Structure 1
């Protein structure tokens, strides 16, 4: 069964840039490039009316912590009825995505739910008490209404299955292997940035991502006093003022949010990539760093467990062990040969994860969801 028409309901879309948006855009690119039709439904956020010719429809939303949160809307049912898709793709479904999955089940439309945001972890982190349990109840109800749930890591799959979510399958994220490449290190943009950040030849230790409490940037304080390094932070977010204050003794260079060539040059200017968040369902920036030929240091928690081969492509540290993070960075900063060896191993590890290859796998999941929905229409549905 070939899928020809796909509706993507996403809780986040342009101009907001994050892992959900990036993943949706790459999937749309593949759908367009392979001659398929698509439609996007997203919360009102000032999104473009079209993306590569694909119509984008906004529904009412409210703002929470700089994020637009989509509200259930009768537009969803009418848009699905008008477009007549072969499958519904719900990206990180919550309020809007949950409504779309329920509507898909009502009309017999196959649906695939992409688990990408640790909602329960957010509830725990913000001390919402019973909120974490309630969040898992919502997640379970939403995802069990879908024909198939796709999760990006073994840790995420384990969390979902423990919470009672059924029909969970692995689906990783792709990475731009041409854009993020070790050769970028020889380019003039990366060289100029290295001169600016580390004029005396220091090892550049970099972070790329959202600047927010859940990203654990406080862990970088463990690097205070490490000789011969400069720390650079690429990104923006609601935690910027607090992060600047708490890392004042480290004196990192904040480059703000970067995209395209500027982002690729920033990776290329780094010597070591450090990820600090311990609640990642995946960790897209770790893949981008590996594709750029960088050794990666990250917490031994969530998505990074699958992405970092400890001692081969980088180092994993216990999230509460600041000294282990410090030792890993000290070792890499002092040993260019180790950095080169681990960076090359990391690049090799992601070579099979181009976006076209990963999107082809997604199309197979669409087809599997369609087969299940067809069996359901005939009264034969798997567990």
Structure 2
């Protein structure tokens, strides 16, 4: 049975000018529907930022999550009304039992969510992940304006086309978080429902290299530190990062350490064990440091000399390359997904072919050899993020989208 946990504490801590309060043009009741249970993912962190902004600007905000987690506690602390409704997420298509369980829960959760939306007279439903399309169906049943964000490009062509057809049918608005998503996931569809709203960059008051105290792993000493920030799932490419570390060590780069910031994820524990095995196999126990999930990411980035983001998927608008750049660190990433839209190559970063370890080694060696090149790339990248990735503009566009959707809904009543 679905459990509803509602918190009414409106206290908000640590408000910054970034989220300045104002009288909203249109008072809205907004509901956010998400399948996440962790603060590790960039998609959820983006939603947290939007939720915080909406609360601080006087709107009534509800968040629906599948279970009690650090997210329910965080949303409660910032003043959202949190509802816990269990549902089975569609993840493992190869497992028949999982698919049957998903199909069993799909109509139940759709109806429960529709009832919740009606009960709280929601104006706008924000579905944070395209795979949670049952949220859109619930919104349709409840007569609520729905918007879904597409942040991930599914690898399977048939499933991608099917899901896109469902989403474009059910959603009132579809938002791509970068232009490459529009191209890769939606085949440059000209539907008037679709728009592109790029995420803002990291908060410059948090990622300020002049104020942040660097953190380094115990045992790293004075080694140059190359880092990767991502949860431990295979699509983030940690094993290619370790393969690069192994090859560099064989080439004689003995004064280099490697730090991985990010924790294991439920259902992917085997991948974390695989990474441990690779470290032992390559004899890198004294060079590679797993520090787990960290809330103070800025301090860990400040302690790195080079920031890597080497996914094996079309990562659409990842946070870690921007976090590295805004801290003045040189960034090595891949030429795929939305990453080329974040930083200009070759002036402000180095990009390589996805999964190509030879190119990774070739690209990172000049950065390891030259402090001047590291400084040049870092400063250029910082300037680009500060000038081109405004958080305020991103939040203004999201707010305007919600307001137009709420006005359209009320005009039909």
Q: How far 1:241 moved relative to its partner?
A: 0.8
**Does residue 1:173 correspond to 2:195, yes or no?**
no
Contact 2:118/2:142 (8 A) holds in 1:
no
Q: Separation in 2 of the partners of 1:180 and 1:232?
A: 19
Q: Separation in 2 of the partners of 1:63 and 1:370?
A: 28
Runs of 5+ in structure 2 lacking a partner?
Answer: 1-24, 93-101
**Equivalence for 2:184:** 159
Contact 1:315/1:328 (8 A) holds in 2:
yes
**Equivalence for 1:23:** 46
Q: Separation in 1 of the partners of 2:194 and 2:319?
A: 20
Structure 1 residues 320 and 20, CA gap change in structure 2 (3 angstroms): closer
**Does residue 1:224 correspond to 2:260, yes or no?**
no
**Equivalence for 1:5:** 29
Q: Separation in 1 of the partners of 2:115 and 2:89?
A: 24
**Selected match of 1:203 from 215, 224, 238:** 224
Contact 1:3/1:86 (8 A) holds in 2:
no
Higher alpha-carbon deviation: 268-277 or 337-346:
337-346
**Equivalence for 1:265:** 299
Contact 2:110/2:137 (8 A) holds in 1:
no
Structure 2 residue matching 1:23: 3-state secondary structure:
helix
Contact 2:90/2:131 (8 A) holds in 1:
no
**Does residue 1:77 correspond to 2:109, yes or no?**
no
What is the root-mean-square deviation of aligned Cα atoms in Å?
2.8
Contact 1:184/1:265 (8 A) holds in 2:
no
Q: Separation in 1 of the partners of 2:164 and 2:36?
A: 17
**Equivalence for 1:213:** 234
Contact 1:181/1:293 (8 A) holds in 2:
no
Q: Separation in 1 of the partners of 2:219 and 2:189?
A: 48
Q: Separation in 1 of the partners of 2:397 and 2:299?
A: 30
Structure 2 residue matching 1:60: 3-state secondary structure:
coil
**Equivalence for 1:333:** 368
Q: Separation in 2 of the partners of 1:143 and 1:51?
A: 34
Contact 1:115/1:150 (8 A) holds in 2:
yes
- Structure number having the greater strand percentage: 1
Q: How far 1:257 moved relative to its partner?
A: 1.0
Q: Separation in 2 of the partners of 1:140 and 1:372?
A: 23
Q: Separation in 1 of the partners of 2:89 and 2:234?
A: 18
Runs of 5+ in structure 1 lacking a partner?
Answer: 125-131, 379-383
**Equivalence for 2:326:** 291
